[in-house]
Amino acid sequence: EIDLAIDCHGQFDLPSAITLAKAVEPLRLLWLEEPVPAENVSALAQVKASTSTVICSGENQYTRFEFLELFAARAVDVIMPDLSKAGGMAEAKRIADLADIHYIPIAPHNVSSPLGMMAACHVMASVPNFLLLEFHGLPIPWWNDLCDGDKPFIENGFMAVSERPGIGVELNDSVARSLVWNGDTYFD
């Protein structure tokens, strides 16, 4: 009753990626993400051409020009730019618009704080080809405290676009200062 997406983290060679993509066809995945390393668009296009499995990539592309290359090669069915790596809100909007003219949905990669997540929410609320927003913050105990704003930031799997000025959230400086990196995890 849920969609399943598999992230390969670009760890497969071309023959293995093709074999995997074909093997999972009966599962009708939401997508198979980065089956080959992101820098080889031609290899990704070969994987996509070999299968009916939906192919997703883009968290390691950094500009709209790199996404244009993915579109021109017909290498993806879904893109997932990381908005903080891909130029921020304005560039994300440009990338989403380019994807839309290629009939490609966008599902941003999101390993952000509430600040980055809400910025992504605002951009995605403005584009017609938004599919979903990835999220990784739930197991982090201080994640909800890191920013102030409309809370809860996520409720029943949904994020609401704030109507507050700006993007509706602000960094809580005292919480941010209290976090110390020990080389493995953050502790307060």
The residues annotated with a catalytic role in the active site are 9, 109
User: What distance lies between CA 83 and its chain's CA centroid?
Assistant: 8
Backbone φ, ψ for residue 185 (5° rounding): -145, 170
Closest listed residue to residue 108, CA positions, set 87, 177, 184, 40: 87
Closest listed residue to residue 112, CA positions, set 175, 171, 177, 185: 171
3-state secondary structure of 48: helix
Closest listed residue to residue 49, CA positions, set 79, 82, 17, 86: 17
Pairing of strands 5-7, 31-33: parallel
CA distance 180 to 56: 35
